[in-house]
Amino acid sequence: MPIPGNLLTTAMAVMPHRDVDRALETALSLDVPFWPQLPNLNYYEDMYVQAAEHFPGIVLDVEKKTLRFSLDKFTEEFEETMARFDDPPYFDISPEYSVVYHRFRALDLSGRPAIRGQLEGPVSFGFNILDQDERPILFDDTIRPFMFEFMSKRINVQLAGLKQQNPNAFMFIDEPGMQFIFSALSGYNDQKAKGDLETFLAAIDHPRGIHLCGNPDWDFLLNLDMDILSMDVYSNAEIFVSCAGSVKRFLDRGGVIVWGIVPTGIEAFAKENLGFLAMRLEDIWKRLGEKGIDIDYLLSRSMLSPATCCLVNPDREATVEKAFRMINDLSCFLREKYHLI
């Protein structure tokens, strides 16, 4: 597998920065860098807006910062979209929708152990984009299959480009909404979701995985055909450890886990220190070891990251950058302790 482990560092993509250079410098400070998404820079840098580029039926108002869907507009634009379905540049992210992406793509990153891209996943996209009747398009049996196919094309095109920069490139499918899809009120049950996601992942090139900060059905998620899972273990350790059987199967298939452990919120970060966060991680690993998971193998299939994105800190990027520095320090400490250097 090209995805590295051994407690190297990466992070989620959404960052509070307004300065492109500073955001890129922060992302490049990690072992496995990524292109930052900067919604505070402008609305085009929002993760949902970026995923919506060229999706037929989208009604985007940049000034009002709204993103909606119109079935009539979808019908009008569908034929043009299908005519471009075998045109890779059409599915990539344009300079208008991300200045940062194209700055990242121009860098020489061939010497890194890996690099990473990302795109908002179809479940979260479909759950958050409402149609003319105020209904999530995820629940539309006509739109949903096309949406999954469209997003798989966009992910594959981005991954192919990143692999030109570094052959070990991989993709995160960002799915913050996945924790809600099993709600009895969501209108999208687990069997339908499982079938859709299996078909979706089968259409995406390897290596690929899911990133989310919430608390989904971990057994369901860990048994999907993906190569890497990025999660907020700082908040979800207890329930994740309870799914040790699924964790073991995921690792045995060669999966990599990104342990999001350093909080990025200003209050939570102020309460933590490197030693305590190391103890929390080691306690999780010890408990998984007691349930039959080989710790040496687990560490070889593990990366470290901050726990979540954070756009609401009053100090903007300051605490987030401290969290990035702390995750690097934590990686160095644990890699030395476990002889991974």
Residue by residue, pLDDT tens for the chain (341 residues) are: 589 999 999 999 999 999 999 999 999 999 999 999 999 999 999 999 999 999 999 999 999 999 999 999 999 999 999 999 999 999 999 999 999 999 999 999 999 999 999 999 999 999 999 999 999 999 898 999 999 999 999 999 999 999 999 999 999 999 987 777 665 555 676 677 788 888 999 999 999 999 998 888 888 889 999 999 999 999 998 889 999 999 999 999 999 999 999 999 999 999 999 999 999 999 999 999 999 999 999 999 999 999 998 888 999 999 999 999 999 999 999 999 999 97
Structure tokens at 333: 């400490």
Contact 250, 222 (CB under 8 A): yes
Amino acid letter, 127: F
Residues 6+ away with beta carbon under 8 Å from 42: 62
Classify 8-337 by CATH class: alpha beta
Structure tokens at 317: 């990027």
Classify residue 37 by burial, with Cβ atoms within 10 Å: 0-12, 13-18, 19+. buried
pLDDT at 2 (0 to 100): 83
* Neighbouring C-beta atoms of residue 108, cutoff 10 Å: 8
CA distance 276 to 273: 6
CA distance 337 to 341: 9
Q: Is this model's pTM higher than 0.85 or not?
A: yes
Query: 235 to each of 5, 219, 232, 259, how far by Cα in Å?
Result: 22, 17, 6, 11
pLDDT at 196 (0 to 100): 87
Looking at residue 115, what DSSP letter applies? -
**Pick from 305, 321, 334, 339: nearest CA to 116:** 305
Structure tokens at 40: 């505070």
